[in-house]
C-alpha cells in the first residue's frame, strides 16, 4: 500500500516525476487551457488525484526522490511543468513559497532549473523569493493579447490580465524570465501571434519558446485543427520574427531530433552492449518521434542483424508520437505487422524503457514480458 492513502499508480507517477527532477504538486490549474492535455487525455495518462499534494506529501517526495540535476545529467529539471500532461500550476499551491524555500535551503535547486508558470497566481512572497534564486522562469503566456488568451485559456478576464501584469512586474523588479506561447492557427494567420512579439519588443524576455502541444483522439476536432500547423509554417514564422524584431524564437516539437546531441550520446552508450549479441536478430521498436535519431545512432554504430520499426499509438491515437504513451498492445500490433510483412524470426525485441514503469508495466498495467510469451523472443529495455 502506498503512503498517504494514495493509489499505488498515483504514488508511482509522482515518484517518477520527482526522480526525473520535475517538481509537480497536482494537476489542478487556474488556467484550463483549451489545448491542455490534462483535460482530454485518458485518465491513465495523468495522475488521478483530484487535489493538490499536501505539504507533508511534497516534502516526502522531495526528501525521498528528488534527483539533483547535477547528479544525473539526463533529467529534465523543472518546477511546475505546466506543459506536461501530468501537472498543474505550481503557484496555485498555498505552500508554494514554503516549497521553493525548502528546495533552496536543502540545496535541491540547480542554476539550470526552470520554474514554469501560467503567471496567474503570483503573490508578493513568490516574487521576493524568485528574486533571490538563480533559476530560469518561463511564463506560459499562451497569447499575451488578452482576448486571444481568453480564447486559448478559460480563466476569467481579471485572471488573464493578472498574468500579463506579472510580466510587467517581473520587468519592474529586474527578474529575468522567458515566455512560452502556443501557436493557434487562426492567431498565427491573422497577425495576433506577431502582435505578441511587437508588444513585447521593449521587454527583456530572455527566451521565447513556441510550443506545439500534442493531442490524442479524445481531443475535440476544433482544437486539433487549431494546433495542426505545418512545421514549415512555424519555422518561417520564427525566421520572420527574427528578421523583423531580432527576437530568437525556439520552436519546440518541430526541429529534427538529430540535433539532440546529448540524447544521441546517451542512446549510443546504452545500445553499445547489443553489439555483442552475435548474429542474433534484433527488432528495434521506437516511437515515431525517436525514429530518425535511433536510425542515425544504429547506422553510426554499425549495428548488424537488425531492423528498426517505428510504433504507432493505436491506443491513444492523435498526434501521440512519444514512447511514454505507447502500450504493449501497440507493440504487439507493430511486431505482427513486421512479421506478416515478411520479417525475420526475432530473437531480441529492443524497446524504450520509457513506455513502462518500475514494475515493467505500461499505462494499462500490462507487463512488457507479455511480449516474450507471445513472440518467444527476449525483451530488452534501453
Ligand atoms: S497552464 Fe498549463 S497546466 Fe494549466 S491548463 Fe494551461 S496547459 Fe494546462
Rounded average pLDDT per 10-residue block, the chain, 382 residues? 82 83 85 79 64 94 81 63 64 93 83 85 91 85 87 89 91 91 93 92 88 78 90 87 87 52 70 84 90 82 91 81 85 96 94 86 90 95 88
Q: Whose CA is nearest to atom 6 of ligand 1?
A: 33
DSSP state of 255: S
Nearby residues of 81 by Cβ (< 8 Å), 6 or more positions away: 22, 24, 87, 116
Establish whether residue 118 lines the binding site of ligand 1, counting it when its CB lies within 6 angstroms of any ligand atom: yes
Establish whether residue 78 lines the binding site of ligand 1, counting it when its CB lies within 6 angstroms of any ligand atom: no
Q: Which three cell numbers stand for residue 272?
A: 553499445
Q: Whose CA is nearest to atom 5 of ligand 1?
A: 32
Gap between the Cα atoms of 189 and 233, Å rounded: 10
Same domain (yes/no): 127, 217? yes
| Domain termination residue (choose one: 254, 279, 314) | 254
Hey, is 379 helix, strand or coil?
strand
Long-range contacts for 100-108 (Cβ within 8 Å, ≥24 apart)?
100/126, 100/129, 100/130, 100/133, 101/129, 102/59, 102/62, 103/23, 103/62, 103/66, 103/79, 104/129, 104/132, 104/133, 106/62, 107/68, 108/62, 108/66, 108/68
| Domain termination residue (choose one: 223, 254, 285) | 254
What integer pLDDT is reported at residue 120 of this predicted model? 92
Same domain (yes/no): 223, 324? no
Please say whether the beta carbons of 231 and 254 come within 8 A: yes
Rounded to 5 degrees, what angle do the CA atoms 59, 51, 156 make?
A: 120
Nearby residues of 105 by Cβ (< 8 Å), 6 or more positions away: none
DSSP state of 367: B
Q: Domain with 281 in it: what CATH number? A: 3.40.50
Same domain (yes/no): 59, 38? yes
Span from the CA of 222 to the centroid of ligand 1 (angstroms) = 18
Same domain (yes/no): 243, 366? no
Same domain (yes/no): 18, 32? yes
What integer pLDDT is reported at residue 44 of this predicted model? 58
What integer pLDDT is reported at residue 306 of this predicted model? 93
**Burial degree of 12 (CB within 10 A; 0-12, 13-18, 19+):** middle
pTM, full prediction: 0.70
Q: Which residues pair with 117 in a beta bridge?
A: 139
Same domain (yes/no): 237, 309? no
Q: Which of 28, 89, 143, 180 to mutate to test the pocket of ligand 1 (most atoms within 8 A of CB)?
A: 89
Establish whether residue 163 lines the binding site of ligand 1, counting it when its CB lies within 6 angstroms of any ligand atom: no
Count of structural domains, the chain: 2
Establish whether residue 152 lines the binding site of ligand 1, counting it when its CB lies within 6 angstroms of any ligand atom: no
Span from the CA of 264 to the centroid of ligand 1 (angstroms) = 30
| Domain termination residue (choose one: 219, 254, 289) | 254
Span from the CA of 377 to the centroid of ligand 1 (angstroms) = 42
Same domain (yes/no): 226, 349? no
Q: Which of 328, 341, 340 is nearest to 285 (CA)?
A: 328
Report DSSP letters for 52-86, one per residue.
Answer: PPPHHHHHHHHHHHPPPGGG-TT---EES-TTSTT
Gap between the Cα atoms of 111 and 132, Å rounded: 12
Q: Which of 27, 29, 181 to mutate to test the pocket of ligand 1 (most atoms within 8 A of CB)?
A: 29
Gap between the Cα atoms of 303 and 365, Å rounded: 32
Same domain (yes/no): 235, 346? no
Same domain (yes/no): 13, 121? yes
What integer pLDDT is reported at residue 58 of this predicted model? 95
Report DSSP letters for 46-57, one per residue.
Answer: S----SPPPHHH
Please say whether the beta carbons of 11 and 2 come within 8 A: yes
Q: Whose CA is nearest to atom 2 of ligand 1?
A: 82
Span from the CA of 226 to the centroid of ligand 1 (angstroms) = 17
Q: Domain with 128 in it: what CATH number? A: 3.20.20.70
Helix (H) or strand (E) holding 207: strand 205-211
Q: Which of 52, 118, 211, 215 to mutate to test the pocket of ligand 1 (most atoms within 8 A of CB)?
A: 118
Same domain (yes/no): 280, 241? no
Domain of 230 in residue numbering reads as: 3-254
Establish whether residue 33 lines the binding site of ligand 1, counting it when its CB lies within 6 angstroms of any ligand atom: yes
Same domain (yes/no): 111, 185? yes
Same domain (yes/no): 211, 265? no
Establish whether residue 53 lines the binding site of ligand 1, counting it when its CB lies within 6 angstroms of any ligand atom: no
Main-chain dihedrals φ then ψ at residue 320, nearest 5 degrees: -55, 120
Span from the CA of 328 to the centroid of ligand 1 (angstroms) = 29
Span from the CA of 231 to the centroid of ligand 1 (angstroms) = 23
Q: How many CB atoms lie within 10 A of CB 201?
A: 11
Q: Which residues pair with 138 in a beta bridge?
A: 116, 178
What integer pLDDT is reported at residue 257 of this predicted model? 38
Amino acid at each position: 500500500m502506498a503512503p498517504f492513502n494514495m493509489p499505488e499508480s498515483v504514488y508511482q507517477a509522482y515518484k517518477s516525476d520527482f526522480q526525473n527532477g520535475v517538481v509537480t504538486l497536482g494537476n489542478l490549474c487556474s488556467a484550463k487551457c483549451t489545448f491542455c492535455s490534462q483535460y482530454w487525455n485518458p485518465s491513465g495518462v495523468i495522475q488521478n488525484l483530484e487535489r493538490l499534494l499536501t505539504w507533508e506529501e511534497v516534502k516526502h517526495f522531495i526528501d525521498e526522490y528528488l534527483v539533483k540535476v547535477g547528479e544525473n545529467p539526463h533529467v529534465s529539471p523543472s518546477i511546475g511543468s505546466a506543459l506536461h500532461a501530468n501537472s498543474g500550476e505550481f503557484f496555485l499551491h498555498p505552500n508554494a513559497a514554503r516549497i521553493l524555500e525548502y528546495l533552496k535551503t536543502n540545496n535541491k535547486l540547480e542554476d539550470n532549473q526552470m520554474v514554469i508558470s501560467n503567471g496567474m497566481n503570483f503573490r508578493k512572497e513568490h516574487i521576493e523569493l524568485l528574486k533571490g534564486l538563480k533559476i530560469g522562469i518561463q511564463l506560459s503566456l499562451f497569447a499575451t493579447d488578452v482576448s486571444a488568451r481568453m480564447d486559448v485559456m478559460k480563466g476569467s478576464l481579471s485572471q488573464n490580465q493578472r498574468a500579463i501584469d506579472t510580466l510587467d512586474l517581473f520587468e519592474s523588479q529586474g527578474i529575468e524570465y522567458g515566455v512560452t506561447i502556443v501557436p493557434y492557427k487562426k492567431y498565427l494567420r491573422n497577425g495576433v501571434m506577431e502582435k505578441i512579439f511587437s508588444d513585447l519588443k521593449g521587454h527583456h524576455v530572455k527566451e521565447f519558446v513556441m510550443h506545439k502541444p500534442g493531442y490524442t483522439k479524445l481531443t475535440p476536432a476544433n482544437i486539433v485543427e487549431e494546433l495542426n500547423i505545418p512545421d514549415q509554417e512555424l519555422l518561417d514564422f520564427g525566421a520572420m520574427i527574427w528578421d523583423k524584431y531580432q527576437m530568437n524564437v525556439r520552436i519546440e516539437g518541430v526541429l529534427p531530433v538529430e540535433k539532440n546531441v546529448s540524447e544521441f550520446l546517451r542512446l549510443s552508450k546504452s545500445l553499445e552492449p547489443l553489439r555483442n549479441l552475435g548474429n542474433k536478430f534484433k527488432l528495434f521498436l521506437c516511437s515515431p518521434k525517436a525514429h530518425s535519431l535511433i536510425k542515425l545512432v544504429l547506422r553510426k554504430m554499425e549495428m548488424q542483424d537488425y531492423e528498426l520499426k517505428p510504433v504507432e499509438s493505436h491506443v491513444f491515437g492523435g498526434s501521440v508520437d512519444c514512447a511514454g504513451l505507447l502500450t504493449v498492445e501497440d507493440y504487439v500490433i507493430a511486431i505482427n505487422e513486421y512479421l506478416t510483412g515478411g520479417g525475420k524470426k526475432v530473437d531480441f525485441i529492443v524497446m524504450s524503457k520509457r513506455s513502462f514503469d518500475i514494475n515493467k508495466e505500461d499505462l494499462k498495467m500490462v507487463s512488457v514480458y507479455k511480449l516474450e510469451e507471445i513472440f518467444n523472443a527476449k525483451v530488452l529495455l534501453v
